[in-house]
Amino acid sequence: MTITKKSLPRRTVLRGLGVTMGLPLLDAMVPAVTALAKTPAKPIHRFQAIYVPNGMAMPYWTPEAVGNRFDLSPILAPLDRFRDQLLVISGLRSSWNYVHAGASGSFLTGTPRGGENETDVLASTSVDQILARELGKTTQLGSLEVAIDKFANAGQCTAGLSCAYTQTISWRTPTTPLPMENNPRAVFERLFGDSGSADPAVRRERRQEKQSILDSVTDKLTDLKIAVGTGDRARLDEYTEAVRDVERRIALAEAQRDIEPSFTEQPSGPPRVFEEHLQLMFDLQFLALQADLTRVVTFMMGREQSTRPFPQVGVPDAHHPLSHHENIPARVALMSKINTYHVELTAGYLDRLRAAQDGDGTMLDHMTILYGAGISNSTSHSGTNLPLLVLGGGAGTIKGGRHLRFPADTSNADLLMTLMDKLDMPLDRLGDSTNKLPIDTLSEV
């Protein structure tokens, strides 16, 4: 760590015309007395949920052994390099097991019930939003909700219930589901656009003239680089290049979409190619967390009942129909290819988190990431033995490298209660749970 004469607040931002740009953690933001004493500052603990739809090919997911001497299953194999920060959780049941609605509807809420028809929308406040109320007091955004699929907020999507249940995992209140934004441009402008003071026309003009948001803060960025140390200058260069790269790729995706004729005027949407879209969304989440724009992120890699095919991994079948595989071995094997591909793509995101320095550790060290699905075997819409992972170091609170199996009637809400403890926000109750899981002491069960 380099001690500089320049002392910056952690919430330092660069403001330009239509731009508010947060910064990554710099040495200059660490109090000099802390640096001189060589005592690490308390790390920022971030929470992220990554949801995958339509259940899992469970024979390919669940490790056979429990404790710390387990072999990774085929689906989990891409996470081998993260084994020390991987906690596999087995045996938990969904708190609300009602086809696809209960899967995503209870994933972060632990709600024991939902609505009864397409206009009756009811769950529980989700843990990400409970966190956002407190952590958002010191960040630009309380939380960030993003997805790959477009949000539909009207009509019925499953078993006569509202689409709200299948297309979001975030609930601000028991009756307020939050839409998940799938347009990279909209997310980018939310992160870096000065929506509080700038006319939207300013941002439109900047895009039309192919100007970068960085052009508005060039002078201030130059002044900042002069004032900080060599290490901080390198971090700023890396960060601004990442911002510029994401901005360039969004513009390129929009240009490619505009090649085809359109008979109605509509805002630019996400890239057509799944991998390009997913990478942009992961990059935007990374930038939001790195710059401390938010400490809470939820991401749906697909909505429940998604029919997206995956020919790129040898699965031309639509995802949702394939998930109803009737336990036919060949179809379960095909399903496992989709599940493995999701894990592979997530592992690439984890690589970036592990490579990013964050104080005296990495961003992955200081994160708690909940990954998984709200259904196990989709053929029967099973809400038992949910496929769940906890990834990251949890800012020193999570002990990885283990597979923990719990009694069959243990609610997934118990795990959520435990994670809230780890995030210094203990709850007396969540959904149908007043219990917590002994994930620290349990090792060989």
370 pLDDT above the threshold of 80: yes
pLDDT at position 298: 98
**Which range has the top average pLDDT, 33-47, 310-324, 427-441?**
310-324
Q: How confident is the model at residue 266 (pLDDT cuts 50, 70, 90)?
A: very low
What's the rounded mean pLDDT across residues 172-194? 92
pLDDT at position 62: 97
> Is 243 contained in some domain?
yes
Tell me the three-class secondary structure of the chain, residue by residue.
Answer: CCCCCCCCCCCCEEEECCEEEECCCCHHHCCHHHHHHCCCCCCCCEEEEEECCCCCCHHHCCCCCCECCCCCCCCCHHHHHHHHHEEEEECCECCCCCHHHHHHHCCCCCCCCCCCCCCCCCCCCCHHHHHHHHHHHHCCCCCEEEECCCCCCCCEEECCEEHHHCCCCCEEECCEECCCECCHHHHHHHHHECCCCCCHHHHHHHHHCCCCHHHHHHHHHHHHHHHCCHHHHHHHHHHHHHHHHHHHHHHHHHHHHCCCCCCCCCCCCCCCCHHHHHHHHHHHHHHHHHCCCCCEEEEECCCCCCCCEEHHHCEEEEHHHHHCCCCCHHHHHHHHHHHHHHHHHHHHHHHHHHHCEECCEECCCCEEEEEECCCCCHHHCCCCCCCEEEECCHHHCCCCCEEEECCCCCEHHHHHHHHHHHCCCCCCCECCECCCCCCCCCCCC
What's the rounded mean pLDDT across residues 52-67? 97
> Is 440 contained in some domain?
no
What's the rounded mean pLDDT across residues 220-224? 88
Q: How confident is the model at residue 206 (pLDDT cuts 50, 70, 90)?
A: low
Q: How confident is the model at residue 242 (pLDDT cuts 50, 70, 90)?
A: confident
pLDDT at position 8: 81
What's the rounded mean pLDDT across residues 68-74? 96
- Number of domains the chain is built from: 1
pLDDT at position 37: 46
> Is 155 contained in some domain?
no
Q: How confident is the model at residue 2 (pLDDT cuts 50, 70, 90)?
A: very low
pLDDT at position 11: 72
pLDDT per position as a tens digit, 129-163: 999 999 999 999 999 999 999 876 555 577 788 88
Mean pLDDT over each residue of the chain, to the nearest integer:
88
Which residue would you say has higher pLDDT here, 211 or 71?
71
263 pLDDT above the threshold of 60: no
pLDDT at position 201: 59
Which residue would you say has higher pLDDT here, 228 or 262?
228
| Percent of the chain clearing pLDDT 70 (strictly above) | 87
> Is 210 contained in some domain?
yes
What's the rounded mean pLDDT across residues 309-332? 96
pLDDT at position 268: 52
pLDDT at position 203: 54
Which residue would you say has higher pLDDT here, 16 or 121?
121
45 pLDDT above the threshold of 80: yes
> Is 346 contained in some domain?
no
> Is 20 contained in some domain?
yes
Neighbouring C-beta atoms of residue 387, cutoff 10 Å: 26
pLDDT at position 274: 94
437 pLDDT above the threshold of 90: yes
77 pLDDT above the threshold of 90: yes
299 pLDDT above the threshold of 90: yes
- Please give the residue range of the domain that contains residue 23: 1-41+184-269
> Is 344 contained in some domain?
no
440 pLDDT above the threshold of 60: yes
> Is 97 contained in some domain?
no
What's the rounded mean pLDDT across residues 341-345? 98
Tell me the three-class secondary structure of 8-35, residue by residue.
Answer: CCCCCEEEECCEEEECCCCHHHCCHHHH
What's the rounded mean pLDDT across residues 172-186? 94
207 pLDDT above the threshold of 60: no
Which residue would you say has higher pLDDT here, 396 or 238?
396
Which residue would you say has higher pLDDT here, 206 or 413?
413
